Amino acid sequence: MRKAGIPTVAMALLLSLLPSEKAWADELPEWLTGEWVQQRGDRWAEEVWTLPRGGTMIGVGRNGRGESLLGWEVIRIVRDGAGQVMLHAAPDGGPETPFKLVEQGVRDISFANPDHDYPQRIRYWREGRLLMAETSRMDGSQTQSWTYSPAGK
C-alpha cells in the first residue's frame, strides 16, 4: 500500500478548508438587507429588512396608491429552536403565519405553507442590484410579483 505524500495531504487539507457549495444553505439571507422601493404609476410598495443578528431578520412592508396606505406587514425570518429557517408574516397587524424554508441558493430563498389560503409560497431573489419578490399558490397560480430598487438611489 502506498502512503499519501505531503502534497496530497496538503491539497486535501486545503480543499477541506474551502467553503462547500452549500455553505450558505440554511443561512439567513443577508443579501435581503436594505430599504427597497417599487413604483408603478401612482402605486408603490416598500420593504425594509434588517441585517441578520441573533438568528433573526426583521422586515416591514407597506404598499399604497398615491398618498393612501393600502396595506402593511411585519415579517420575520428566524432560525427556530430546531434550527429550521422560517418566515413569519403578519399582514395588517393580524396573526403571524409561518412559512418553512423550502429552497435556498446563494441569492435566492423560497418559503412555503401549503395549508395557508394565500399566499402559499413566498420567494425572494436578487437580480443584480434589484430585489425580486413573488407570492403564489403552491402550483404557481395566482402569482403576484414585485421588482424593488434600492431606496434613495
Q: How many C-beta neighbours within 10 Å does residue 109 have?
A: 22
Query: What's residue 18's pLDDT?
Result: 42
Query: What's residue 81's pLDDT?
Result: 86
Q: Are 78 and 68 in contact (CB under 8 A)?
A: no
State the fold for domain 34-150. Answer: Lipocalin (2.40.128)
Mean pLDDT in consecutive groups of 10 residues from the start of the chain, 153 residues: 51 42 65 97 98 96 98 96 94 96 96 98 98 98 98 82
Q: Closest by alpha carbon to 71, among 40, 49, 44?
A: 44
Kind plus residue range of the DSSP H or E element containing 16 = helix 6-17
Q: Is 129 left (phi over 0), alpha (psi -120 to 50) or beta?
A: alpha
Q: Are 69 and 62 in contact (CB under 8 A)?
A: yes
Q: Closest by alpha carbon to 76, among 52, 44, 108, 92?
A: 52
